[in-house]
Structures are given as C-alpha cells and as structure tokens.
Amino acid sequence: MLPAGAGGVGLAGMQMARALGATTVATAGSPSKRALLRSLGAQHVSGSRDTAYVEDLAVATRGGVHAVLNTLTSPGMVSSAAALLRAGGRFVEIGKRDVTSVARLGQDRPDVHYGFVAMDFMPAAVLGGGYVQLHTSFDA
C-alpha cells in the first residue's frame, strides 16, 4: 500500500511495485489524484483524508496488503496503515520526521515486520549497487 500515492514517493513506489508484478494499492486526497493513480495502473485506490480507507481497502484486497511503504506521520494514520497489513506483512518506514518506532508498531501489530529505509544512511556499496540495478532496469 502506498499512502499518499500521488506524491513523488508514492508514484515511484507504485512504479517499482508494478515492475515487480505486485498489485498496487494507494490512497490520495482528491478525486483527480485518485483518477491519476487509476490511470497509472493502481488496482485499488481510496481516499486519504481520514482512516475510512482501511475498511475500503481491506474489502477491495480481500483482507489486507502484504506491504506498506509509509511516509505518514500522524499516529492515527500510521496505525491505520499498519492495521491494513496482513499477518506477516512488512511496514517500511521511509519518513524522516516523527518516525514510528519499532516498539510502538509492535504494540499494535506484533505479527508484522518493521523496516526503516534512509538512503542517506545506507552504506555506499549498497546504495551504488541499487543504482546500478535501477540503471539496468531502465535499459530493459
């Protein structure tokens, strides 16, 4: 799931998920942004102005999602995104401000995996290897 899917990070995440063959699920605030996401291939799209998207997307995905690429900071929105994960799912935090802690997420969802990705803290070899992979995929 890509909260705020019509933003730069959401759009990039959607492209990567689709390249991997994943079903893409996203939220966006306005009807025009939701239409954009659908036109770009998102299979399930819902609003993002409140937490009502959880029920909507749980039904649409028949029980939830396998991964959340999170950029949200509001505690209610973060816990709602985590609630949409299936058991054993992965919550990947890429935000830099008000980052949800592993302990906090573990209180709500001890059955999911939590990861934090910050490119500016990645080892140079890992980051360089990722860029080579990305560049190669552009040539394909």
- pLDDT tens-digit series, residues 34-62: 999 999 999 999 998 888 899 999 999 99
Classify residue 1: in a domain, yes or no. Answer: no
Classify residue 3: in a domain, yes or no. Answer: no
Residue 26: which CATH number? 3.40.50.720
Classify residue 114: in a domain, yes or no. Answer: yes
Classify residue 2: in a domain, yes or no. Answer: no
Question: How many folded domains does the chain comprise?
Answer: 1
Helix and strand totals (H; E) in the chain: 6, 5
Q: Are 89 and 101 in contact, with CB atoms under 8 Å apart?
A: no
Classify residue 132: in a domain, yes or no. Answer: yes
Classify residue 116: in a domain, yes or no. Answer: yes
- pLDDT, mean of residues 12-22: 89
| Residue 25: pLDDT over 70 | yes
Residue 140: which pLDDT band, with cuts at 50, 70 and 90?
low
Query: Which residue is it, tokens 């401000």?
Result: 97
Residue 86 sits in which domain range? 8-139
Classify residue 101: in a domain, yes or no. Answer: yes
Long-range contacts from 106-115, C-beta under 8 angstroms, 24+ separation: 108/79, 108/82, 108/83, 109/82, 109/83, 109/85, 111/87, 112/82, 112/85, 112/87, 112/88, 113/88, 113/89, 114/90, 115/90, 115/91
| Residue 120: pLDDT over 90 | no
The reported pTM is 0.82
Cβ neighbours around 60 below 10 Å, total: 16
- List, in sequence order, the alpha helices (H) in 20-74: 31-39, 53-60
Rounded CA separation 10/27 (Å): 9
By the 10 Å C-beta count (0-12 exposed, 13-18 middle, 19+ buried), 42 is classed as: buried
Which pLDDT belongs to residue 67?
94
Classify residue 29: in a domain, yes or no. Answer: yes
